[in-house]
Amino acid sequence: GAVVSQHPSWVICKSGTSVKIECRSLDFQATTMFWYRQFPKQSLMLMATSNEGSKATYEQGVEKDKFLINHASLTLSTLTVTSAHPEDSSFYICSAEGGGTDTQYFGPGTRLTVL
């Protein structure tokens, strides 16, 4: 089946630094990628929808200048958390849609801890 990878799987950073998370579709071209955030014991919350070659569409309440999304190719989308703060600590998950199906394929997630 289709595989989506994320890198890194976990990251610890100091407050004020920026962190980049990569999401790759390994064996299919992803026309659309989604970025989610999940706080402990909470459901996944969609942050933004990313289409290759165009600007991401952010959900209400998500700061586009803080969470920069780049979908430069059909197999790679990146999420950069700029000037990270402890409240940004969360589990970030991407998913990709494509490969000729309507199914979303989820990445394994990236756990971000901001000290």
Partner 1 sequence: KNEVEQSPQNLTAQEGEFITINCSYSVGISALHWLQQHPGGGIVSLFMLSSGKKKHGRLIATINIQEKHSSLHITASHPRDSAVYICAVSGSGGSNYKLTFGKGTLLTVNP
Q: How far is the CB of 81 from partner 1 (least distance, A)?
A: 17
Whether the CB-CB separation of 71 and 96 falls below 8 Å is answered with no
Examine residue 106 and tell whether it contacts partner 1 (CB under 8 A).
Answer: yes
Q: How far is the CB of 104 from partner 1 (least distance, A)?
A: 7
Question: How many CB atoms are located within 10 Å of the residue 63 CB?
Answer: 10
The stretch near partner 1 (CB under 8 A) out of 17-25, 68-76, 81-89, 97-105 is 97-105
Gyration radius of the chain over CA positions: 13
Q: 48-87 mask for partner 1 (x: CB under 8 A)?
A: -x--------------------------------------
Nearest CA-CA partner of 16 in 110, 88, 64, 68: 88
Find the binding residues for partner 1 in span 20-49 (CB under 8 A): 32, 34, 38, 42-46, 49
C-alpha span between 61 and 73 (Å, rounded): 26
Nearest CA-CA partner of 68 in 48, 41, 94, 93: 48
Examine residue 111 and tell whether it contacts partner 1 (CB under 8 A).
Answer: yes
Contact positions toward partner 1, by CB under 8 A? 32, 34, 38, 42-46, 49, 91, 93, 95, 97, 102-109, 111
